[in-house]
Structure formats: C-alpha cells, structure tokens
Chain A
C-alpha cells in the first residue's frame, strides 16, 4: 500500500445551520481508484468543492503531498496536480474541441502569459493536445464546436482536459452522468485507460462502475462517513443497504452482491 497523496482530516463544513460535512476524513493513494458513494444530499458535491478549493472548511485540514493546502486557491491546487472534472460538463461551448484542450495544455506548460505571439504558432503544444485527443478517440471531431458534439463526447473531453493538466490526484465527479447508455462504454474504457500511477477519487452513483474500477469505497451519508471498504464488502453491508432505501436501492445492491 503506497502512501496517501491527498488527505482530508476531520473536515467540518457548515452552511448556516446546515452541517454539510462533519468530522469527515479521507485519504487517497496513488495508483488506486477510490469511489465515493452516498444518497443525494449526503454531501458529495460539497466534498468536491472542498477538495478542489471552491469551498473552505470551517474545521479540519486538507493536505496534498504532505503540504497543507486548506487555504490554497483553486488554481494553485491545480498546479500542484489536484485536478477535477465536472459532473455537468463545463466546457467552453463556443470553442472547438481542440481549442478547449489546447487551453489546458497551454496553461499546463505555462505558455499563456504571452501577450505577443499569435497562439497558432505553438506547434509542440498543439501536437500534445492532439495526442491526448487521439488517445481518447476524439481526434476526428477536434475542429467541431463543443456545443455541436454529442454529450458522451463532451464527457470524454472533460476527462481529456483533466489528463492534459497532468494530474497527480484526479477527482472524477460522476464521469458517466447523463450519458446515453450506448455511449457509456466508450467513456468507461477511457476511465480504464487512465494512467495507473495517479490517485483517483471517483464520485459515483452507478454501482457497476464502482465495482468495475474501485478498490476502496467510501460511503457518505448526511455529511459523515458511514463506512469504508472494498466494493463487495461495502455493498453487502446491511447498514449501507438500509441507507439506500427503497426497492430500487435494495435491488441495486442485491444484484451487485450476487455478482450480477
């Protein structure tokens, strides 16, 4: 077991009277895919905001590579290798696929401060951008506007952009969310092909995805960690099942536990 890269320790987040996260702790290790599951309103969105830097905790600490980043700005965390994707695709809709990823590559290379030279001249950056697109099979649509490509490809682009930023820790916020079933496979193959040495925290609802990829699962309920463990164990746990009330929840777990 490798050392954890990203550690959240005893985090409290309050919005007025509402306790979004309470005593929350988590550690993410490189080369491992962790999943975070939990019913709606459990605090998953707050957690992503907290880790990426848009929300500051009221108590507790976050550290990355052993360094306290609790007060650090979003952009700084990205530079340290903490990258997130968005649950609802947040891309530059009016720009092309290539331009979207070029922006990521360019900033990652520190090339965006240039006020003078026309942007089209940076051949090596364009090549890098195209390389990433090629790996994710997006290369053919690279000159199309993002608003014109299917949603499944937009979700792929989110992952491509995350890769372009050379992440050490990747927060995947429901990567398959909103994708029509016939396009999910492509996305999941992309997740499977992510570099094995990075640390991944995947927020997910879909138990198939969790079972396929995650080695460790956190279950978040009402802002607190209910349990942590390997997928099979977590999904067989009666406590966890009880939380996911309703027959759809029960059958979801029942199917998984029996290896369906």
Chain B
C-alpha cells in the first residue's frame, strides 16, 4: 500500500541525521526551538497533507497544552513527563470537541472556523486571567530539569530531549499515514463523496484526525513550556497558528520530514535576519506566495525533484 512518501526509510534517515547534526550548526537553544516548532508544524502537516484540511488554529491546542502543562507543574507539583502527557491529552480532547462540530463544514468554511476558534482561545485566556495570568502569561513555574532521573538543565541535554520528542512524534505520524486509517484519510482527501458512498463515516474519521493533530500540538505546547519555563500569551495568539502553518508549508506537507526542514529554515532565518531587518516576515510572506504559485510541495519536494534529476542523470551515463 502506498504511503505518502515513496521512501519513508530514507526520509527517516535524513531526519535522524539532521537532528544529530543540528546542534553543531546552530546554538543548542535555537536547535531546541527548531525541534519544538517542528513538532507543532507536524500537527498542521498531518491535517493538510493527510486529510486535506487547512487549519489556521493549531496554535490554540499548542497554547492549551502549554497552559495545562505549566499549571500542573506549578500548582499540582506534577513531574514533567506526566504534565506533558496531560498537555497532549488536553490538546486531543479540546480538538476532538471543537473538531466534531467543525468537520461538518467544508472548504473555506472549515478554515474560517479554525481561525475563529483560535481567536476564541486567545480571548478565553484573557478572560480567565486568574488562572492563566492573562496578558502577563503564566509564570512562577519552578524550573524543573528532571526527566526520569536525567537532567536536561544544560542546553545540549535539553535539545537532546526535544529532538527525541520530535523524532518520536515523527515516527508516529509516519506510522499513522501508512496505516489503513491513513489510507482512508487519503481517500477522503482525494474524493470525499466517493468515500462516503463507500460507507466511510467521513465526519468521524475527520474528527479523529483533528483530535490527533490537536494532541500533537498540545504535546508541542508542553515541550515549549518545559523549554521556556513560563507560558507567554503569544503561545495561544493567532501568530502561533500562523507560524506553525507557515513552517509546515515552507517545509512541505507531502512528508512529515518537511516539518523539520520548514522549522529549521524559519527559525534560522528568523535568528539571522531579525537583527539586520526586523521585518523579515515580509520576506517569508513573499516566499509563501512563491511557494503557492510555483512550488506547492515546499522545500522537501524541491529536494525530491533535485534528487530525481540526479537519478535521471546517472541513468543516462
């Protein structure tokens, strides 16, 4: 059965190699952020790539994951791994609830609702500022650096944890795409009326996909608060949803590996340019326009095309 990626093992190898090499190319703190946002971008990619659902609202679930994880660590004294698990679950539950309502709408309507709910999340955070800290964010977290007895206090170990977390999610996403469930999602993406006429309860499948994506985003949110030590309200602002979307698109949604490529590109460009020209996002916007018009598969597909060129060249020799 065909998976989205023709050579999933090659993609895995490249991702693993990239993760190993990354801390040697960029500072470890930046590398951690790359891994965290790559995880978040996977939640966009799985929805858009596997099911064809465009979501402007994955930041909402990242945010809720961050707040849940932060609150549990601060107020319930929970360990990092358990809090991370709760972050993931909260993302899944919220996404499942909202998703069950909005998957019945199609096309642009669905996209609009994802954006509207993302805004709703932001205003909810402001409205309940007793719990969330409102505009000041969630602070006062004890800096914990203990995962199963290992310390992640220094930047390199922190990165190791983040990279490992991303890699686990990456493998999971690959697995899901290749499973019968993933095949049905592909069918729904290709031809929804036909899928329905085959007896697939399409709305149910979509809701599960949305919940999965919410879980991944919630997990990323938990990672983010572990990294930062606090929760900025920007975690749940529309800008976060947009960032995850942009990263996923730049990297390419045809393969889960695109999330890492996109995140590395975005964060490195952000670091490099933000000193020189603070409005570097304008360039990203132009890049996005170019991608939509000329390279919808993102950078990952560009890589694939180049390697295909090489294959053809060597064949001719």
Residues of A at the B interface (CB closer than 8 Å) are 52, 54, 73-76, 78-79, 83-84, 86, 90-96, 99, 102-104, 106-108, 111-120, 122, 161, 165
Contacts of B198 in A (CB 8 A): 78, 103-104, 107, 161, 165
Do residues A92 and B194 form an inter-chain contact, with CB atoms below 8 A?
Answer: yes
The answer for the CA separation of A243 and B197 in the assembled complex, in Å, is: 33
Say whether A114 contacts B197, CB under 8 Å. no
> Other CB < 8 Å A-B pairs besides A102-B1, A119-B180, A119-B182, 18 of them?
A78-B198, A90-B193, A90-B197, A91-B191, A95-B187, A102-B183, A103-B183, A103-B184, A103-B187, A106-B183, A106-B184, A107-B184, A111-B180, A114-B180, A115-B176, A115-B181, A116-B179, A117-B179
B130 at the interface (CB under 8 A from A): no
CB contacts (< 8 Å) of B179 on chain A: these are: 114-119
- A78-B199, A99-B1 as given contacts; A90 in contact with B180, CB under 8 Å: no
Cβ–Cβ contact B199 & A107, under 8 A: yes
* Chain B residues close to A by CB (< 8 Å): 1-2, 175-176, 178-184, 186-187, 190-191, 193-202
By Cβ-Cβ distance, the 9 closest A-B pairs, closest first, are A78-B199, A119-B1, A75-B201, A120-B1, A90-B194, A115-B181, A92-B190, A114-B180, A119-B180
B200 touches A112 (CB 8 A): yes
With A90-B191, A103-B187 in contact, is A119–B199 under 8 Å at CB?
no
Among A75, A99, A113, A116, point to the contact of B199 (Cβ < 8 A): A75
Of all chain A residues, the one with the shortest Cβ separation from B191 is: A92
Q: Is the CB of B180 within 8 A of A117?
A: yes
Complex A-B: 21 CB contacts under 8 Å:
A86-B194, A92-B194, A93-B191, A95-B2, A95-B186, A96-B2, A99-B183, A103-B195, A106-B183, A106-B184, A107-B184, A108-B199, A112-B181, A113-B181, A114-B181, A115-B176, A115-B182, A117-B179, A120-B1, A161-B198, A165-B198
Residues of B within 8 A of A120 (CB): 1
Min distance, Cβ A17 to any Cβ of chain B, angstroms: 26
Question: Interface SS of chain B: helix, strand, loop or mixed?
Answer: helix
Inter-chain contact A112/B184, CB cutoff 8 Å? yes
Q: Which of B182, B191, B199, B200: most chain A Cβ within 10 A?
A: B199
Nearest-neighbor residue (CB-CB) of B8 within chain A: A118
With A106-B180, A117-B180, A119-B178 in contact, do A79 and B1 touch (Cβ < 8 Å)?
no
> In the complex where A118-B1, A120-B1 touch, is A112 in contact with B180 (Cβ < 8 A)?
yes
Contact B180 A122 (CB under 8 A): yes
Contacts A75-B196, A75-B202, A107-B198: A119 and B190 contacting too (C-beta < 8 A)?
no
B197 pairs with A95, CB closer than 8 A: no
CA distance A91 to B225 in the complex (A): 46
How far, in angstroms, from A99 to B182 measured CA to CA in the complex?
Answer: 13
